[in-house]
Amino acid sequence: MKKYTEIKDISNLSDMIKEAILLKMQPFEFSELGTHKTLVMLFFNSSLRTRLSTEKAASNLGMHVSILNVNDAWNIEFEDGSIMNTNSSEHIKEAAKVISQYADIIAVRAFPGLVDKEKDASEYILQSFIKYATVPIVNMESATAHPLQALADAITITELSEKRKPKVVLSWAPHPKALPQAVANSFVEMMIEMDVDLTITHPEGYELDEIITKNTPITHNQTAALKDADFVYVKNWSNYKDYGKVLNEDPNWMMTQEKLGTAKFMHCLPVRRNVVVEDAVLDGGNSIVIKQANNRTFAAQVVLKRILENL
> Which residues are paired to 139 by β-bridges?
108
Binding ligand CP by CB under 6 A: which of 22, 48, 84, 224?
Answer: 48
Query: How many residues bind ligand CP, per CB under 6 A?
Result: 9
| 3-state percent breakdown (helix, strand, coil) of the chain, nearest 5 | 40, 15, 45
Binding ligand CP by CB under 6 A: which of 9, 120, 123, 141?
Answer: 141
3-state class (DSSP) for residue 39? strand
191 binds ligand CP (CB under 6 A): no
- Closest CB to ligand CP: residue number: 50
226 is in an annotated binding site: no
| Phi-psi map region of 45: left, alpha, beta (phi>0 left; psi -120 to 50 alpha) | beta
Residues numbered 249-268 forming contacts with ligand CP, rule: CB under 6 A: 268
149 is in an annotated binding site: yes
> Which residues are paired to 90 by β-bridges?
76
Helices (H) and strands (E) in the chain, counts: 12, 11
Task: Pick the stretch among 42-50, 83-91, 117-125, 253-261 that binds ligand CP (CB under 6 A).
Answer: 42-50
* Closest of 181, 192, 165, 160 to residue 266, by C-alpha: 160
* Closest of 127, 85, 106, 122 to residue 41, by C-alpha: 106
To ligand CP, the closest distance from the beta carbon of 304 in angstroms equals 16
Helix intervals (H) in the chain: 13-25, 49-60, 92-102, 117-121, 124-132, 147-160, 182-193, 210-213, 222-226, 257-260, 279-282, 289-309
To ligand CP, the closest distance from the beta carbon of 142 in angstroms equals 12
269 binds ligand CP (CB under 6 A): yes
181 binds ligand CP (CB under 6 A): no
49 is in an annotated binding site: yes
97 is in an annotated binding site: no
Binding ligand CP by CB under 6 A: which of 128, 139, 149, 213?
Answer: 149
CB nearer to ligand CP: pick between 148 and 167: 148
To ligand CP, the closest distance from the beta carbon of 200 in angstroms equals 19
* Closest of 56, 42, 10 to residue 107, by C-alpha: 42
69 binds ligand CP (CB under 6 A): no
Say how many C-beta atoms besides its own lie within 10 A of residue 53's C-beta.
Answer: 24
Query: How far apart are alpha carbons 95 and 98 in whole angstroms?
Result: 5
To ligand CP, the closest distance from the beta carbon of 184 in angstroms equals 12
165 is in an annotated binding site: no
49 binds ligand CP (CB under 6 A): yes
Phi and psi torsions of 53, nearest 5°: -70, -40
CB nearer to ligand CP: pick between 100 and 155: 155
22 binds ligand CP (CB under 6 A): no
CA atoms within 13 A on the CB side of 310: 14
CB nearer to ligand CP: pick between 96 and 299: 299
**Residues annotated as binding site for N(2)-succinyl-L-ornithine?**
141, 175, 235, 272
Contact set with ligand CP (CB under 6 A)? 47-50, 141, 149, 268-270
